[in-house]
Amino acid sequence: MNQVRHTIDAKGKSLGRVASEVVRLLQEKDLPTFLPNNISNVSVVVLNIQKLRPFGKGAATKKITRHTGYPGGLRVKSVPELFKKNPAKVFRHAVEGMLPANKLRKRMLRRLVIHNDEE
């Protein structure tokens, strides 16, 4: 089976809108052959991720947390702060949150390619 590759230019678009478009393409929900228990042969390439539209008030207050595994190891960073450091990580986190929480999530995320071209 041939692999289908979609390319999305994120320049000037909102983070959530681009993320939801990527999720729709990864799941192939718009095709008549969609089955929730099958993974498709689709990859999505996102370009210019650092040129997304600036965040509003909602995203400015949003926090991303992670835990080191040690007592007192909760690490919290704001989304705009993390976006300046690594925009691909913020975008991947948004897409991961929109995908279904099942065994196929990791396999779908492997088919997401993010290019962060510095110009």
The 10s digit of each residue's pLDDT in 10-33 is 999 998 999 999 999 999 888 888
Q: Which of 76, 56, 47, 81 is nearest to 64 (CA)?
A: 76
- Residue 33: its pLDDT value, please? 84
Residue 119 has pLDDT above 60, yes or no: no
Confidence bin at 1 (pLDDT 50/70/90): low
State how far Cα 39 lies from the chain centre: 17
| Spatial distance between the Cα atoms of 67 and 72, rounded to a whole number of angstroms | 9
The Cβ of residue 15 has, within 10 Å, a number of other Cβ atoms equal to: 21
Residue 33 tokens read as: 């052959």
Topology (CATH) of 4-55+86-114: Ribosomal Protein L13p; Chain: A; (3.90.1180)
